[in-house]
A and B are shown apart, each in its own frame.
Chain A
């Protein structure tokens, strides 16, 4: 069996789950296995939608997410024996897949860009060294594999709903969730956006991000931020790009008043085109830029907005 963790937002499957399904189907074909799904539900989870993608769907009601409960649910679904468990890469999946991989003594292939099976073994391509190096890796089954977002075509439904199997998940020692600090989500999601406009400390203030938002909206993109900006409280953590934030790979990445520290580059250096605006011609970001302007962002950004508007008219 190839087991796919069908991650969802409470009402529908996340795009990453459909990418994971595609990867799982490829592995299943090469290894002569069947694909099953596991849906770890909270009330309102997309059971009908999930059934449409797999022949067997394991379901457990576990309440709010914790890594321990999710790992226990997946392990219960995997009891019949698995060659691979596939999940979308997310901060949460990293926690439960680390546990699952250990419990199954599986080869953990994290954040893969591609994966395939050959001669009974599973191969994958992934980044390492803060995204500077590309690695080809392999492991014999069982493997626990996570799929980097936006790397894989989305799976199509099978056409008929699969069998639903309810799981009995034994209770586990876990954390007690006291309070969720939700962040207001607006506009395009950062990791899926085709254009990302990021402001750094060079923006000078939280107010100055109004113009960053305006440029992002004009280009149909999302707003990003550096750690320095998040630490200053100008933008929410959910917008942080970098080693401890999100990894993005848009067609166009615009960095405004961003110095280009390695930890920031780690989150965006695979973007197709990188544009930088910085008043310091020696700023490291220029070494990683395709296009740039040496200048004061407070003058250049309004001018950029004007020029884009002119182009669109």
Chain B
């Protein structure tokens, strides 16, 4: 059995973003393994622990993405493949770059995060599934491997559903699927020696980013003291009615 987790490196959601020349500048941001992808890494590890086989992390992004791949290796993944690409690429282009690499591994199943914390794309899993010619189960909250099929629960726009799918298939992950483990010190030491194969990608993104701006709306920040809850509530309702005119 072979379980693949596809990952990317993204800025930590708490870190400050700056704009430089009309584009987001990440040079001073803390970069992490995308938390959504972390659920995929954890699930690959659990599947391997339960069913045996190999867990492989496939990363897409610039050179620095190797840090995130090493994090996944420190969590316990067996080896890494890094498809190196500088700059933005849309999900179709990313899927095109990853598909041959993944196909060559003939995985049992493939996991990736439900949404990217930088480009806010939710399409990579679906595009990858199309590229591999297999089904996709987005926003998975439960995965039960039963021989050559998986029984999975996933979220829809309203409610959820249980499905059965013949493998291989692509699953996208989200909070609730599992609790990702932390890399241990021995894990970090071992990760340094694990193999990370580099694959160059010479593609062109079909979508081009022309301009990025940060529009954090300036908030009024009129915060009242609630020691007298009734007075505070009445004042708040007055402000919402007379000043903001929203009720």
Contacts and interface: CB of A to CB of B under 8 A. Distances in A.
Interface of A: 66-68, 71, 90-92, 94-103, 105-111, 123, 126-140, 173-183, 185, 195, 219, 227, 230-231, 236-238, 243-244, 251-252, 262-263, 266, 269-270, 272-277, 281, 286-296, 299-300, 302-304, 306-308, 310-311
A-B CB proximity, top 6 nearest: A295-B226, A98-B126, A98-B123, A262-B13, A303-B233, A102-B130
A295 B232 contact: yes
Given A219-B247, A291-B222, A292-B223, 17 more contacts: A96-B126, A99-B130, A102-B126, A130-B13, A137-B207, A177-B162, A244-B176, A262-B14, A277-B226, A291-B220, A291-B223, A291-B240, A293-B224, A293-B232, A294-B223, A300-B226, A300-B233
B122 to A, nearest CB: 4
A98 B130 contact: yes
Interface string B186-214: 00000000000000000000111111111
Interface size class of B (residues with CB under 8 A): 35 or more
A107 B246 contact: no
B138 interface: yes
Contacts of A180: 156, 159-161
A130 B92 contact: no
A293 B92 CA distance: 46
B137 A175 contact: yes
29 contacts: A92-B156, A95-B125, A95-B126, A95-B136, A98-B122, A101-B92, A102-B91, A106-B92, A108-B121, A108-B206, A108-B207, A128-B24, A128-B118, A134-B212, A135-B210, A136-B212, A139-B208, A175-B135, A185-B158, A238-B158, A251-B246, A275-B240, A287-B221, A289-B221, A291-B224, A292-B222, A303-B232, A311-B237, A311-B241
Nearest to A126: B120
Interface in B80-129: 90-92, 95-96, 114-115, 117-127, 129
B207 A98 contact: no
Interface of B: 11, 13-14, 17, 24, 36, 90-92, 95-96, 114-115, 117-127, 129-131, 133-139, 151, 153, 155-166, 169, 174-176, 206-217, 219-227, 229-230, 232-234, 236-237, 239-241, 244, 246-247
A231 B179 CA distance: 12
B246 A272 contact: yes
A294 B223 CA distance: 7
A280 B39 CA distance: 30
Contacts of B175: 227, 244, 263
Contacts of A126: 120
Given A128-B119, A133-B212, A97 B166 contact: no
Contact of A102 (B14, B127, B216): B127
Given A98-B125, A105-B92, A263-B13, A304 B237 contact: yes
Nearest to A237: B155
Nearest to B224: A293
